[in-house]
């Protein structure tokens, strides 16, 4: 029996500027930009389930996600796609198989939204 739990609690995303990244992620997720930046380089995005931590201390261009390491969920992929377009997000794929699309954050991290 393994002492390691079968769950992921946090995903770290490398970002260049913690303040700007906090504003961008909070904007696309519809969250207030009022959470504290910890230790000058960490911001924990309030999420349901697995947390996301933005971290400017670990940032370098070669450490950004070159492929999505996770996906944000949606109940309506077309609505999510239209919403991200309205936010002028850099969308890198069309909606694929009526289920998902990829986009970039301002630091070049590849992310995904998926209707599951």
Annotate 39-91 with DSSP letters as a single string.
TTTEEEE--SSSEEEEESTT--GGGS-SS-SS-EEES-HHHHHHHHHHTT-EE
Sequential pLDDT tens for the chain (116 residues):
999 999 999 999 999 999 999 999 999 999 999 999 999 999 999 999 999 999 999 999 999 999 999 999 999 999 999 999 999 999 999 999 999 999 999 999 999 999 98
> How far apart are alpha carbons 109 and 97 in whole angstroms?
22
Reported pTM: 0.94
> How far apart are alpha carbons 94 and 113 in whole angstroms?
11
Residue pair 112/80 in contact (Cβ under 8 Å)? The answer is no
């Amino acid at each position: 029996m393994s002492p390691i739990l079968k769950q992921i609690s946090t995903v770290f995303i490398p970002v260049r500027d913690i303040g700007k990244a906090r504003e961008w992620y909070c904007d696309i997720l519809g969250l207030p930009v009022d959470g504290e930046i910890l230790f000058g380089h960490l911001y924990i995005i309030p999420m349901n389930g697995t947390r996301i931590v933005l971290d400017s201390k670990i940032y370098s261009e070669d450490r950004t996600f070159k492929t999505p390491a996770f996906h944000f969920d949606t109940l309506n992929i077309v609505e999510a796609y239209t919403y991200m377009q309205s936010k002028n997000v850099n969308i890198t794929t069309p909606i694929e198989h009526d289920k998902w699309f990829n986009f970039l954050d301002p630091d070049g991290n590849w992310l995904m939204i998926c209707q599951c």
